[in-house]
Structure 1
Amino acid sequence: MKKSLVLAALAGVLVGLVGCNGGSETPANTNASGPSTDNGGSPTSTSARSMPTAAGNTATGDTIKIGLVASLSGDLRPWGADCENGAKLAVEEFNAAGGVNGKKVDLMVQDSQSAPEKGKTAAEKLISDGALGLVGEVASGITAQIGQSAYEKGVPVVAVGATRTDITDIGANIFRVCYTDDFQGPVMAKFAYEELGLRNIAIMTDIKQPYSVGLSASFKSYFEKLGGKVVDEQKYESQQTQFSSQLTAIKDKTPDGLFLSGYFNEVGPIIRQANEMGIKGPYLGGDGWDSREIITNAGEAIKNGYFCNHYNNDEDRPAVKDFLAAWQAKYKSLPATTMGALGYDAMKVTLEGLKNAKELNSKSLIEAIENTENLHGVSGDITLKGRNGNPPKRALVVGLDPVAMKQVFKKAYEYFDK
Structure 2
Amino acid sequence: MKRMIFMWIVSLLLMSAHQPSIATEALRIASIYALSGQIGVSQRNSVMGVRCGVESVNREGGVLGKPIELIEIDNLGSPIGSKQAAEKAVALGVTAIIGLAWSSHALAAAPIAQQAGIPLITNISTHPSITEIGDYIFRACFSDRFAGRVMAAFVRNDLKAETVAIAQDLSSSYSMGLADIFEKQFRQEGGRIIDRISYKQPIENFDKIVDAVVKANADVLFIPGYDESATIIRKARQKGLKSIPIGGDGWNFGEFFRRADGKASGAYFWTHYVTHSGSAQALRFESECPQILQGQSMVPGAALGYDAARLLADAIRRAGSTDRKAIRDALAATRDFEGATGRISFEEGSRDPQKPLAIMQIQGDEAVLVKSYHP
- The TM-score with structure 2 as length reference comes to 0.88
Q: Secondary structure at the match of 1:220?
A: helix
Q: Is the alpha carbon distance of 1:283 and 1:91 closer, same or farther for their aligned partners in structure 2, counting shifts above 3 Å?
A: same
Q: Is the alpha carbon distance of 1:281 and 1:133 closer, same or farther for their aligned partners in structure 2, counting shifts above 3 Å?
A: same
1:407-418 matches, within 5 Å, as 407-415=367-375
What CA distance in whole angstroms lies between the structure 2 residues aligned with 1:114 and 1:248? 30
Residue 309 of structure 2, aligned match among 331, 347, 354: 347
Per-residue Cα deviation, 1:207-249 (whole angstroms, up to 9, x for no partner): 1212111111111111121121112221111122434444444
Matched, 1:240 2:203: yes
Q: Shift in Å at residue 198 of structure 1?
A: 1.4
Q: Is the alpha carbon distance of 1:246 and 1:119 closer, same or farther for their aligned partners in structure 2, counting shifts above 3 Å?
A: closer
Q: Shift in Å at residue 252 of structure 1?
A: 4.2
Matched, 1:393 2:355: yes
Matched, 1:157 2:113: no
Aligned to 1:256: 219
Residue type of the partner of 2:329? E
Residue type of the partner of 1:381? R
Q: Is the alpha carbon distance of 1:65 and 1:246 closer, same or farther for their aligned partners in structure 2, counting shifts above 3 Å?
A: closer
Asked whether the 8 Å contact 1:281–1:304 carries over to 2, the reply is no
Matched, 1:220 2:150: no
Q: Is the alpha carbon distance of 1:157 and 1:227 closer, same or farther for their aligned partners in structure 2, counting shifts above 3 Å?
A: same
Q: Shift in Å at residue 125 of structure 1?
A: 2.0
Matched, 1:272 2:237: no
Aligned to 2:366: 406
1:113-124 matches, within 5 Å, as 113-124=76-87
Aligned to 2:110: 147
What CA distance in whole angstroms lies between the structure 2 residues aligned with 1:293 and 1:326? 24
Residue type of the partner of 1:78? V
Residue type of the partner of 1:315? S
Residue 290 of structure 1, aligned match among 237, 252, 268: 252
Q: Secondary structure at the match of 1:118?
A: helix
Q: Percent identity?
A: 29
Q: Shift in Å at residue 64 of structure 1?
A: 1.3
Q: Is the alpha carbon distance of 1:242 and 1:101 closer, same or farther for their aligned partners in structure 2, counting shifts above 3 Å?
A: closer
Aligned to 1:174: 137
1:102-117 matches, within 5 Å, as 102-117=65-80
Q: Which runs of 5+ in 1 are unaligned?
A: 1-58
Q: Secondary structure at the match of 1:346?
A: helix
Aligned to 2:60: 97
Q: Secondary structure at the match of 2:265?
A: helix
Q: How many residues align?
A: 353
Q: Structure 1 stretch 335-344 or stretch 304-313: which is displaced more?
A: 335-344
Q: Is the alpha carbon distance of 1:226 and 1:68 closer, same or farther for their aligned partners in structure 2, counting shifts above 3 Å?
A: same
What CA distance in whole angstroms lies between the structure 2 residues aligned with 1:129 and 1:332? 32
Residue 154 of structure 2, aligned match among 179, 191, 210: 191
Asked whether the 8 Å contact 1:187–1:308 carries over to 2, the reply is no
Aligned to 1:82: 45
Q: Secondary structure at the match of 1:165?
A: coil
Asked whether the 8 Å contact 2:82–2:106 carries over to 1, the reply is yes
Aligned to 1:50: none
Aligned to 2:271: 309
Q: Is the alpha carbon distance of 1:79 and 1:348 closer, same or farther for their aligned partners in structure 2, counting shifts above 3 Å?
A: farther
Q: Shift in Å at residue 318 of structure 1?
A: 2.5
Asked whether the 8 Å contact 2:169–2:199 carries over to 1, the reply is yes
Larger radius of gyration: 2
Residue 331 of structure 2, aligned match among 339, 353, 369: 369
Per-residue Cα deviation, 1:183-202 (whole angstroms, up to 9, x for no partner): 11122212212222211111
Higher helix proportion (structure 1 or 2): 2
Asked whether the 8 Å contact 1:292–1:406 carries over to 2, the reply is no
